[in-house]
């Protein structure tokens, strides 16, 4: 997000993206949505912390936009609960790739509507007080984490 305090310095260490995913068991039972509008026929797990909740906004490769007001059997502000619900086949979820990286890698979750980009693409930052007077250990950590996440963050490996 944007920094309210101008005395802070943000160093980008990795990109992150939002995606839609579901358990293979859910997709076997309910089918794979082929368009954003098809989400209306699915149980979508809601994260109340999203600014646009309950709307999911996305754009395709041609620049067409879609905004879908989703609904489902579970709404929470706890992202880990949503991951577990999705793994259990309760519904589709919108998530950041870093949160569901392990589940995607081991096949417990799979991406859907991959040709659509979800709103709020962003990054992971190390945020510190101004560079002036920054502790050596803070600078060392920021350097280490930046190298650890380059060229690709661990959740995408």
* pTM recorded for the entire structure: 0.80
Return the domain boundaries, the chain: 1-16+123-151, 18-120
Four-way CATH pick for 18-120: 2.30.30.760, 3.30.70.260, 3.40.50.720, 3.40.190.290? 3.40.190.290
pLDDT band at 5 (very low <50, low <70, confident <90, very high): low
pLDDT digits (tens, 9 = 90+) for 138-155: 888 888 888 888 877 777
| DSSP sequence for 55-85 | EEEEEETT--EEEEE---S-EES-HHHHHHH
Q: What angle, rounded to 10 degrees, do the helices at 79-87 and 97-105 form?
A: 20
Q: Tokens representing 134? A: 């920054």
pLDDT digits (tens, 9 = 90+) for 36-77: 999 999 999 999 888 888 999 999 989 999 999 999 999 999
pLDDT digits (tens, 9 = 90+) for 93-118: 999 888 999 999 999 999 999 999 88
């Amino acid at each position: 997000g944007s920094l309210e305090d101008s005395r802070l310095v943000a160093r980008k260490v990795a990109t992150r993206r939002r995606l839609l995913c579901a358990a293979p068991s859910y997709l076997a039972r309910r089918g794979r949505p082929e368009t954003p509008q098809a989400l209306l026929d699915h149980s979508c797990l809601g994260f109340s912390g999203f600014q646009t909740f309950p709307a999911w906004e996305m754009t395709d490769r041609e620049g067409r936009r879609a905004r879908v007001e989703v609904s489902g059997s579970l709404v929470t502000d706890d992202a880990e609960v949503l991951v577990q619900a999705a793994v259990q086949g309760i519904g589709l979820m919108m998530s950041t790739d870093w949160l569901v990286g392990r589940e995607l890698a081991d096949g417990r979750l799979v991406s859907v509507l991959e040709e659509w980009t979800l709103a709020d693409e962003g990054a992971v930052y190390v945020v510190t007080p101004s560079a002036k007077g920054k502790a050596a250990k803070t600078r060392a950590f920021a350097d280490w984490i930046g190298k650890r996440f380059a060229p690709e963050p661990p959740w995408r490996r």
